[in-house]
Structure 1
Amino acid sequence: MSGAGAPVTAPVDCSGLRVAVVAASWHQQVMDGLLAGAERALADHRVEDAVLTRVPGTFELPVAAQAHAEQGFDAVVALGVVIRGGTPHFEYVCSAATDGLTRVSLDHRVPIGFGVLTCDDDRQALDRAGLEGSTEDKGYEAASAALLTAHTLRKVRGGVA
């Protein structure tokens, strides 16, 4: 299982952080699970007014994340799913999304929660979507990672850490 070795972290109070969630629209059932997981993480970390932006697909996540980073958001959660097919499209989209989101994070010094599933088939995606019967909740994990990192950066930038 890919979740083996994951850290055990408790939610921290992230009230006051400006958070955006950018989510692709392909694979609705999987995306519904990822979004629900992200919403649970936001609630657990006491984020009340996150902004949700939907884009057509995973390829469009970096530009939407960049728009929010430019507006001063403290964290962005990027959610999407790409399922391998019979052409190189999978590799191109996965690489572009990963590279683009990394660039946005580093260029704008904003943590991006990477909730992009890159799966060989529908079953793998459903197993990671945080749905009933799933073994993992990548939407929750991505949101929590972005929030914990934003919380840490706030302390570091304030000279506390």
Structure 2
Amino acid sequence: MSLNSPKAKDIDAKKLRFGLVASRFNEALVDALVARAGELLKNSKRLEIIRVPGAHEIPWGAQQLAATGKFDCVIALGVLIGGDTNHHEMVGDSVSHALQTVAINTGIPVINGVIVANTLAQAEARCTGSINRGAEFVHAALEMAVLKRSLEKKS
């Protein structure tokens, strides 16, 4: 991911509804993402959070939330950290494709907030450090939720 994220739009979350699915694997780091996201969504009309065991289960959780039709956007949060193999990259790729499929099949935007890092230090910088990916994911979700609603009004 680039460090040059777009400037956040000033969007009021009060009337928007969000589903958030987060993994329990690498729990402290994911909890930091959830906390940073929750802070920005505290004024939303509805925020439902579900937890799943790991990153591979995130798309299933996102599918369940999106299928309810209750949410303007679903946010998926997880952390994958490299080890001796490239397993974290394979899981990250699989999860990314699955989340995109959920969004396309349900018509509900899904924000892929699954961090794929090569080292613990990289993951910490993005979850608890100066790179606030949790806030970036929420800003994307806010923008997509507003876009979804505006497109629905036109149809």
For residue 154 of structure 2, give the secondary structure of its aligned residue in structure 1. Answer: coil
The amino acid that maps onto 1:99 is H
| CA shift for structure 1 position 17 | 2.3
Q: SS of the counterpart of 2:29?
A: helix
- Once residues 100 and 107 of structure 2 are traced to their aligned partners in structure 1, the CA distance between those partners, rounded to angstroms, is 10
The answer to whether the Cα contact below 8 Å between 2:72 and 2:148 also exists between their aligned partners in 1 is no
**TM-score normalised by L of structure 1:** 0.88
1:1-150 pair list within 5 angstroms:
2-4=2-4, 6-43=5-42, 46-72=43-69, 73-129=71-127, 131=128, 134-150=129-145
* C-alpha distance in 1 between matches for 2:3 and 2:40: 17
Query: Helix, strand or coil: the match of 1:50?
Result: strand
Q: CA deviation at 1:28?
A: 2.0
Alpha-carbon offset, residue 14 of structure 1? 2.9
Once the two structures are TM-superposed, the CA of residue 2 in structure 1 deviates from its matched residue by 3.0
Cα distance, 1:15 vs structure 2: 2.3
Per-residue CA deviations over 1:56-111 (Å, capped at 9, x if unaligned) read 01111000000011100221010001011112422321111100000001111111
The TM-score normalised by the length of structure 2 is 0.92
Counterpart contact for 2:9–2:139, Cα < 8 Å = no
Distance, in Å, in 1 between the alignment partners of 2:112 and 2:21 is 10
**5+ long unaligned stretches in structure 1:** none
CA contact (8 A) 1:42 1:144 kept: no
1:153 aligns with 2:148: yes
Letter in 1 for 2:65: H
CA distance in 2, matches of 1:143, 1:112: 11
Residue identity (%): 33
The count of aligned residue pairs is 154
Structure 1: which 4+ aligned runs deviate by more than 6 Å?
none
**Secondary structure of 2:96's match?**
helix
Give the gaps of 5 or more residues in structure 2.
none
